[in-house]
Chains A and B, each alone.
Chain A
Amino acid sequence: QKEVEQNSGPLSVPEGAIASLNCTYSDRGSQSFFWYRQYSGKSPELIMFIYSNGDKEDGRFTAQLNKASQYVSLLIRDSQPSDSATYLCAVKVSNTGNQFYFGTGTSLTVIP
């Protein structure tokens, strides 16, 4: 069973705060992990990907991966109102060829 679980939210944070988005996955064969941002009515936009345990930083975004706990997170520092969107976690499992599994997304609202 290949499931990706996210808290659907909504998550609200004040402008300038750190937003923390979490994702768990069930398949230990999961190999690659992705965070997408999706604005209402738009298509998903790739923010970050991570393959190895630990942290990966890109500007205001930090992805954290813990394969032992089957947990991946996204931190958004200095949150801006423009960060208000749904954040999708996606997982690629090595033994399923090329299928990506998406969570249902977490809705984030940054309050000015």
Chain B
Amino acid sequence: ETGVTQSPTHLIKTRGQQVTLRCSSQSGHNTVSWYQQALGQGPQFIFQYYREEENGRGNFPPRFSGLQFPNYSSELNVNALELDDSALYLCASSLGGAGIEQYFGPGTRLTVT
């Protein structure tokens, strides 16, 4: 176990809706990264937060947004859901802005219908 938790475990949404996914970092970790993993693919980097500030962003549209809170927990928000957003969403926590060693949570499986 990595100590990283995510909620919910599974989620079913309808196209056009909005969704919020949550992540609690491993104790002592101040950096969280979010990834999208489609079936049969490797994780794709969405963005990273370090000490409540966005610290890097991948090639995802602005409807993917995030927050990090003072306790270093984090949220991923996705607006205007599309069918292609169906995937496993992973958060990974690490210590320090460089985020050298990342430890993943169990993920949230999002299905958009």
Are B105 and A99 in contact, with the CB atoms below 8 A? no
Are A46 and B99 in contact, with the CB atoms below 8 A? no
Indicate if B72 sits at the interface (CB-CB under 8 A): no
Are A105 and B104 in contact, with the CB atoms below 8 A? no
Indicate if B101 sits at the interface (CB-CB under 8 A): yes
Q: How large is the interface on A (under 10, 10 to 19, 20 to 34, 35 or more residues)?
A: 20 to 34
Please list the 3 inter-chain residue pairs (A to B) with the smallest Cβ-Cβ separation, ordered nearest first.
A102-B42, A97-B56, A43-B104
What total of A-B pairs shows CB separation below 8 Å? 61
Interface size on B, residues (CB 8 A): 28
Per-residue 0/1 for A39-56: is the Cβ within 8 Å of any B Cβ (1 yes, 0 no)?
Answer: 000111110010000000
Per-residue 0/1 for B56-95: is the Cβ within 8 Å of any A Cβ (1 yes, 0 no)?
Answer: 1010000000000000000000000000000010100000
| A contacts with B: majority SS | strand
Are A104 and B41 in contact, with the CB atoms below 8 A? yes
Enumerate 15 A-B pairs (CB-CB under 8 Å) in ascending A order: A34-B101, A36-B104, A42-B106, A43-B104, A45-B104, A92-B100, A97-B56, A98-B50, A98-B55, A99-B45, A102-B35, A102-B42, A103-B42, A104-B42, A105-B42
